[in-house]
Amino acid sequence: MYGMLLESIQHFVQEEYGEDVWSKVLEESGFRNAVFTTHQVYPDRLIPCLAQACSKHSLQTNDDFLCFFGRCFVRFFTHYGYDTLIRASGRYFRDFLNGIDNLHHQIRFSYPKMQSPSFYVEREDVGGARLHYRSKRCGFGYYVIGQLIQIAQEFYGLELEATILTDEEDASGSSGCHLIYDLRFDNTPYQNAQAARRNMIEHTDLGSVSCVYLFQLFPFSIAFDRTMTIREVGEKSRELFGGEEMVGLPVETFFLMHRPRVPFTWDKIFILQKVVIELECLNSRFTKHPICDRRNSASTRNLLLKGQMRLIEDWDAIIYLCVPLLSNLQEMQEVGLYLTDLCLHDSSREIVLAGWQHGARLEISYEKQEERSKKLEENLKKRDEWKQKGDDLLYSMIPKAVALRLRNGEDAIETCESFDNVTVLFGEIVEFSELCTRLTAMEAVSCINEVFSLFDKVTDSYNVFKVETVGQVYMLVSGAPERRPDHAENVARAALDMMAQVNGMTTSDGEKIMVRIGMHSGPVAAGIVGLKMPRYCLFGDTVNTAARMQSHGESGKIHISEPSNKLLTGHGFSTVTRGPMKIKGKGEMNTFWLLGFKKEENQCQGGT
């Protein structure tokens, strides 16, 4: 299907349901970042997929949305001037129904790859009509209903009720579907047309037209009787088949019903007298061969004839009044015809010449549009990739929950909160100043980067957030901004892992790298402060105490406060008292060493 159908859906879903819903619908349909362009061809399954995705975001069903999509298309194609074509197709809604296939023929030159469905009216009455619909695409029955309802209402001021009587596989031998609709509307013009026809028959005084003259006017025409046997053919039709005798042979020997997609029988043809018919010439001496570059030809089929079937009651036969269906000079030459073979009284010659003149320019414009569309899709993908990189960088500086609040328009100060209990950790590379005197500046930077990179990997494995690094000091927290009852356990596990990761690391001159860690639990205030280079900061005495635990600790050990020790008790951690310590700015405090996990300790004791 062409992109114009999808453009209409996108426009009205965004208008009536919002941009967010449309983005979700596209993503659920597997077409995220898709950019629909008018002349681009897309998979037929896309519209049913969009309807199914839309139904998940509302109380309406798939069929409701298919009907809505059909109405959207009618409302949308006015942007392209097709409303003028609809209004000009007939004075009444019945005229439109009888001429739907004819409209498809008119727009096939603008959309050469279009696989349009086939419609024909089986019967009419003053209360409506019975409409047949055949298509290679299945699942669009309610989409058609939406189109018909909107056209009846918008262009003819009618209220239409449409019911699907049958929905089955196409019995004509090709894959697809065949639906029959019962359409109820005010069809008074049908009664008036019948009366006018009877009046003309009763009052005309013109004589009959000669058979010879009729076939001269329509040199490609064919006449056949109820047994589908050819009674007469025009001169040009004979030339297409090398002048061989065609009269008296079955019509299906030379022609195949191409459109509409119905069996080629007398009964079916009889009810299609108001529908444009296409026949494909079989076994002619101008059989077309496959073309490498299909862009320059509308089709690789044999010659198609387009016209109207009319019953001639005096002959008890149907005559097919037709002309060759050609788009440009190349296609005309491929089937072995010349301009002089085409009738003067129709537009065949003009269509062929116009197609030749404008085909190249249209092709160039179309290819440029395709290139722009692909480029736009690539740019949208790159935008998503860079957006993801930006998000990753942002979330490494600010907790994701806080960042989302800022994106939603909250002021930075509104992100500041009080937390009753969190656990803060400080880790420091011991004797870093002395290390800097032995190493070059770049070697020192490389050393600290290696250590802190290991710490970053550790933080990804536990429910902790890296707050900042200041010089050789690394700070993290658990319990903020996400409140967690197990914050002390998370920090303790991270501290033990950090110590294990550093164990065995050396500087470039072979000296062992030592780390000192301290942790404390208590209340803090936290949030984003400042306008430039925003960071998630912690405030309160708990932060100062955790820093003192680190500074008063020992190399290779984890120094914890009494509140942290209480929170770890009973959770499988092994700690040992260090005793009362005088802590700068705090006075005397009971502190502890975090040794590891009890099960590890027991295993070590059992192995000695």
Same domain for 471 and 437: yes
Assign 365 a pLDDT band (cuts: 50, 70, 90).
confident
Same domain for 321 and 215: yes
What pLDDT is stored for residue 182 in this prediction? 95
Please state the rounded mean pLDDT for residues 14-18: 86
What percentage of the chain exceeds 90 in pLDDT? 27
Distance CA 564, CA 545 (A): 11
What pLDDT is stored for residue 289 in this prediction? 43
Does position 397 have pLDDT exceeding 50, yes or no? yes
Give tens-digit pLDDT for 146-156: 999 999 999 99
Contact 361, 34 (CB under 8 A): no
Residue 493 lies in a domain: yes
- DSSP 8-state assignment for residue 44: T
Residue 205 lies in a domain: no
Does position 231 have pLDDT exceeding 80, yes or no? yes
Distance CA 494, CA 152 (A): 70
The residue behind tokens 């659920």 is 28
Same domain for 417 and 388: no
Distance CA 65, CA 52 (A): 8
Give tens-digit pLDDT for 44-58: 888 888 888 888 888
Q: Where residue 537 sits, what CATH number does that domain have?
A: 3.30.70.1230
- DSSP 8-state assignment for residue 176: S
pTM of the model: 0.48
HSE-CB at 423 with a 13 A cutoff on CA atoms is 29
Contact 585, 542 (CB under 8 A): no
Please state the rounded mean pLDDT for residues 218-231: 92
Residue 73 lies in a domain: no
What pLDDT is stored for residue 362 in this prediction? 66
Please state the rounded mean pLDDT for residues 219-241: 89
Same domain for 324 and 360: no
Q: How far apart are the first and last CA of the chain?
A: 77
522: nearest Cα among 549, 499, 502, 552 = 549
> 408: Cβ–Cβ under 8 A, 6 or more apart, which residues?
none
Same domain for 574 and 437: yes
Same domain for 363 and 392: yes
Amino acid 315 reads W
Give tens-digit pLDDT for 86-130: 888 888 999 889 888 777 766 766 666 677 788 888 889 999 999
Same domain for 372 and 316: no
Residue 151 lies in a domain: no
- When the pLDDT of each residue in the chain is averaged and rounded to a whole number, the result is 83
Give tens-digit pLDDT for 515-524: 999 999 999 9
Same domain for 415 and 470: yes
Residue 180 lies in a domain: no
Contact 475, 456 (CB under 8 A): no
Same domain for 330 and 260: yes
Contact 258, 302 (CB under 8 A): no
Give tens-digit pLDDT for 531-542: 677 778 889 999
What pLDDT is stored for residue 528 in this prediction? 81
Same domain for 565 and 462: yes
User: Among 345, 363, 378, which residue terminates a domain?
Assistant: 345
Distance CA 545, CA 522 (A): 9
Assign 293 a pLDDT band (cuts: 50, 70, 90).
very low
Q: Where residue 322 sits, what CATH number does that domain have?
A: 3.30.450.260
Distance CA 474, CA 455 (A): 8
What letters, b where the CB count within 10 A reaches 16 and e where it falls short, cover 229-263?
A: ebbbbbebbbbbbeeeebeeeebeebbebbbbbbe
Residue 574 lies in a domain: yes
Which range has highest mean pLDDT (119-133, 240-254, 386-400)? 119-133
Same domain for 365 and 335: no
What pLDDT is stored for residue 300 in this prediction? 46
The residue ranking higher by pLDDT, 238 or 185, is: 185
Does position 2 have pLDDT exceeding 80, yes or no? no
Structure tokens at 311: 């019953």
Does position 196 have pLDDT exceeding 80, yes or no? yes
What percentage of the chain exceeds 70 in pLDDT? 89
Burial class (CB in 10 A: 0-12, 13-18, 19+), 540: middle
Contact 102, 108 (CB under 8 A): no
Distance CA 36, CA 45 (A): 15
**How far lies 94's CA from each of 120, 149, 151, 327, in Å?**
11, 13, 12, 30
Distance CA 576, CA 591 (A): 9
* Backbone torsions φ then ψ of 128, nearest 5 degrees: 150, -150
Residue 605 lies in a domain: no
Give the structural domain span for 381.
348-397
> 323: Cβ–Cβ under 8 A, 6 or more apart, which residues?
218, 220, 305, 306, 307, 342, 343, 346, 348
Nearest 5 degrees, angle CA 90-CA 92-CA 97?
A: 70
Structure tokens at 420: 């009753």
Residue 331's H or E segment, with its range, is helix 329-334
The residue behind tokens 């129709």 is 346
Please state the rounded mean pLDDT for residues 486-508: 90
What pLDDT is stored for residue 349 in this prediction? 64
What pLDDT is stored for residue 355 in this prediction? 61
The residue ranking higher by pLDDT, 134 or 366, is: 134
Distance CA 298, CA 413 (A): 65
When divided into structural domains, the chain yields a total of 3
Same domain for 455 and 372: no
- Helical ranges in 57-187 per DSSP H: 62-76, 82-88, 93-98, 100-107, 141-156
Does position 604 have pLDDT exceeding 50, yes or no? no
Please state the rounded mean pLDDT for residues 410-419: 78
3-state SS class at 91: coil
What pLDDT is stored for residue 88 in this prediction? 83
3-state SS class at 75: helix
Does position 296 have pLDDT exceeding 50, yes or no? no
What pLDDT is stored for residue 599 in this prediction? 61
Give tens-digit pLDDT for 54-83: 888 888 898 999 999 999 988 888 777 778
Residue 367 lies in a domain: yes
465: nearest Cα among 406, 417, 513, 402 = 402
- DSSP 8-state assignment for residue 41: B
Structure tokens at 322: 């037709």
Does position 474 have pLDDT exceeding 90, yes or no? yes
Nearest 5 degrees, angle CA 180-CA 223-CA 320?
A: 50
